[in-house]
Structure 1
Amino acid sequence: MKLLSYKKIGKGKPLVLVHGYLGGQDMWKFQEELKDHFELIMPSLPGYGESAFMRAPSTIRDNAVKVFELLDLLGVETFYLLGHSMGGMIVQEMAALFPERVKKLICFGTGSIGVLPNRFETIEESRNKIKEKGIKETRENIAKTWFVDYLLGDGYQLCLDEGAKATTQAALASLDAWDSWDGRGQLDKIQSPTLILWSDKDRSYDLNQQEILKRGIHNSKLEIIKGCAHNSHMEKPELVNKIIKEFLS
């Protein structure tokens, strides 16, 4: 059985950070200061980052199982859990599968369904662009939508560097996983206190998706970051890190 590559730093209660589409473990570079408060466990999903040697599954659940396999190997039974974007879908799946293991959950810049009605482009458009233009150009264009101004700061370059490690197979398999995933019917299985964190300039997931999460997860609250886009953890890392620490404290 092949296991995910990962980065583990810090001390304290384990906080598992699950990255999104075309990402990897280094997408959390600006959150590594949290190591003074938590033991950060940052896996690279199959086909991404340092796990690019693995074939990526085409379902959200299989991605969730891969993260659990890593945690089981590390002997991590209970943990805090945060997922961003596609990673947010995966952590919902994890919290519904084994609710007793997730102490607190953060659904960050994500939604309850894979096929989003108001995404900047359809899944089929993204799929066709990868096939026609290649993953490099597609990656560059998609990552631009993750920022209010992608030319500010180091976030956009970080996304390009991490995205360059991804395989075309993983990029397409993830789109297939979104196409077949609908987590709305299992939101009531999530038992952990949950923070739904969203930014008001997010072009990937709209406010309606956050309200569905809020209604579906019993013990949840919604916090909105103003003036940021999809990757607010890179645009305003100090603010996002403060929100994470306060919720998990």
Structure 2
Amino acid sequence: MDLKTVQTRHVPVRYFEGGPPEGKNGPDLVYLHGAGGVTAEDPFLAALAEKHHVYAPLVPGYGDSEEAPEIRDMLDFTLHTWDVVEALGLKDPILVGHSMGGMIAAEMAAIAPNDVTRLALIAPAGLWDDDHPVPDLFATLPFEMPALLFHDAEAGAAMMTAGRNVEDPGFLQAYLVTNARQLGMAGRILFPIPERGLQQRLYRIKARTVLIWGDSDRLMPPVYAHAFKKGIPGAQLVSIPEAGHMVIVEKTAAVVEAIGALG
């Protein structure tokens, strides 16, 4: 994936782009990442780019992108991302979002229902059920993350630390700085709880929608999958066994297949 920059009215936005050679491009696809961010080496992006021309914008404050203090609330995030789509010159791309990115994608489809015809939401945030509270991501310690995010916590921990010396003070310092910077931005819509009234707007979504969920998701329990399905007219739910919140890396092929059904 190539790292590029596009200028919106308010801020330059860094994004990854990749896909089939010119003339063999599949449908344009915009991927919105979760609170953990995304990198050029992300295997999920690579899998998507086998069949689609993929654009994956970084939320400001992620990677080497500039922070954007003017992006303060859910409406700002939503309109900012529409600005990115416009700056990229895209018309009706397949819109895909994971976790926090799924929350943003759902808001985009709700606020501009006639501009999105295909929508894939992968374990999106955005709803709240008092009987099934979402764990507090901001109070979770690093060693607790694998069990929260993966069906196989041991394998998840290995993936999260691959090639890194977690006992190196330099690694820990860089991790803490990066994590604080990214979660500081994500916290504007996820803290103290990831709920900004989306439930009342889901009915506005007209896009053909597929919801993709890992059966073992401990961060966004599957009860939320059924809440989204109930709220979005005609939404299809694809439940993937032996997968947690990071279904995109545990069951990449199954997720890509579910998205591919959108055309």
Partners of 1:70 and 1:118 in 2: CA distance = 34
Kindly state the Cα deviation for residue 12 of structure 1 after the two structures are TM-superposed. Answer: 2.4
**Equivalent AA in structure 2 for residue 62 of structure 1:** D
Give structure 1 regions of 4+ aligned residues with deviation exceeding 6 angstroms: none
Query: Relative contact order (alpha carbons < 8 A, sep ≥ 6): 1 or 2 greater?
Result: 1
Partner of 1:106, secondary structure, is: strand
Partners of 1:22 and 1:116 in 2: CA distance = 25
After superposition, give the CA deviation of every residue in 1:83-116 in whole Å (9 maximum; x if it has no partner): 1111111001110111222121011112442687
Pick from 42, 45, 55 the counterpart of residue 68 of structure 2: 55
Partners of 1:173 and 1:242 in 2: CA distance = 31
Instruction: State yes or no: 1:118 paired with 2:139.
Output: no
Partners of 1:139 and 1:3 in 2: CA distance = 31
Structure 1 98/120 Cα, relative in aligned 2: closer, same or farther at 3 Å? Answer: closer
Q: TM-score, normalised by structure 2?
A: 0.78
Residue segments in structure 2 that go unaligned for 5+ positions in a row: 1-9, 20-24, 165-170
Partners of 1:61 and 1:166 in 2: CA distance = 25
Does the CA contact (< 8 Å) of 1:193 and 1:220 recur in 2?
yes
**Residue in structure 2 matched with residue 142 of structure 1 by the alignment:** 145
**Residue in structure 1 matched with residue 7 of structure 2 by the alignment:** none
**Residue in structure 2 matched with residue 151 of structure 1 by the alignment:** 154
Determine which structure has the larger helix proportion and give its number: 1
Pick from 32, 36, 39 the counterpart of residue 18 of structure 1: 32
User: Which structure has the bigger radius of gyration?
Assistant: 2
Structure 1 143/70 Cα, relative in aligned 2: closer, same or farther at 3 Å? Answer: farther
Does the CA contact (< 8 Å) of 2:29 and 2:95 recur in 1?
yes
**Equivalent AA in structure 2 for residue 174 of structure 1:** A
Alignment: residue pair count: 234
Q: TM-score, normalised by structure 1?
A: 0.82
**Residue in structure 2 matched with residue 100 of structure 1 by the alignment:** 114
Instruction: State yes or no: 1:43 paired with 2:57.
Output: yes
Partner of 1:41, secondary structure, is: strand
Partner of 2:258, secondary structure, is: helix
Residue segments in structure 1 that go unaligned for 5+ positions in a row: 130-137
Q: How many percent of aligned residue pairs carry the same amino acid?
A: 24
Kindly state the Cα deviation for residue 232 of structure 1 after the two structures are TM-superposed. Answer: 1.1
Kindly report the root-mean-square deviation, in angstroms, between the aligned alpha carbons of the 2 structures: 2.7
Kindly state the Cα deviation for residue 36 of structure 1 after the two structures are TM-superposed. Answer: 3.2
Does the CA contact (< 8 Å) of 1:88 and 1:108 recur in 2?
yes
